[in-house]
Amino acid sequence: VRKPKVFLFDEPLSNLDAKLRVAMRAEISKLHRRLGATIIYVTHDQVEAMTLADRIVVLNDCRIEQVGTPMEVYTRPASRFVAGFVGSPAMNILKATLSGAGDAQQARLADGSVLPIRVPVSGLTEFDLGVRPEALIVVASGGDTEGTASVVERLGERTLVHVRLKDGHTVIAQDKGLSTLEPGQKVQLQFDRRALHVFGADGRAIRA
């Protein structure tokens, strides 16, 4: 078939080393633009999905969890499964209880931290609060919560910090690339209020 209308790819880059995989992603992307054909591309690699796809279909046990553009899936995950599957490191998920009403609503975390939040569901008292590492920032002082750095991963442009909270739960936060943090240090964390996600008991996202 010289000019197929559809290409079916099943993890074509999975056996390549990291450097060649990056180069081949770019080649496939250029090929896609040149041919203008539909490509159905199966992958477990989130980077491949985010960089190559026009639309992503996230499957869980043969069920479609969400369909959307890469950024829709990343910034507005439809379920707790999508939130944990798309993105590396995965989204932090914290147990929370809701108090107050209207503009006075607050989410209380297991470690005692309190965050203002808007949850437009009546009768909801307990939920899962999701926050990605880049929305949980290490600050010098005045943070929303604190803990102890257990692992510090220096990646050049950013630093990932595994922080053990007072309730024993560990989250992954982000610090600047030239971070001087070391394991064992106390850490103050600030939540980005604009990037919080709420998931109900059924695992589905609750939108404000």
pLDDT for the residue numbered 134: 95
**DSSP secondary structure string, 21-78?**
HHHHHHHHHHHHHHH--EEEEE-S-HHHHHHH-SSEEEEETTEEEEEE-HHHHHHS-S
Is-contact 131 196, C-beta < 8 A?
yes
The whole-model pTM stands at 0.86
Q: Which of 85, 206, 76 is nearest to 68 (CA)?
A: 76
Q: How many CB atoms lie within 10 A of CB 199?
A: 23
In whole angstroms, give the CA distance from residue 45 to residue 31: 19
Task: Give CA–CA dist 169/171, Å, rounded.
Answer: 7
Q: How would you write the pLDDT of the chain (208 residues) with one tens digit per residue?
A: 678 889 999 999 999 999 999 999 999 999 999 988 999 999 999 889 999 999 999 999 999 999 999 999 999 999 999 999 998 899 999 999 988 877 778 889 988 888 888 777 767 889 999 999 999 999 999 999 999 999 999 999 999 999 999 888 999 999 998 899 999 999 999 999 899 999 998 999 998 6
Q: Which of 161, 155, 164 is nearest to 182 (CA)?
A: 161
The tally of CA atoms less than 13 A away on the side-chain side of residue 2 is: 0
State CA 156 to chain mean position distance. 20
State residue 88's pLDDT score: 87
Size (the chain), residues: 208
Amino acid letter for position 184: G
pLDDT of residue 104: 78
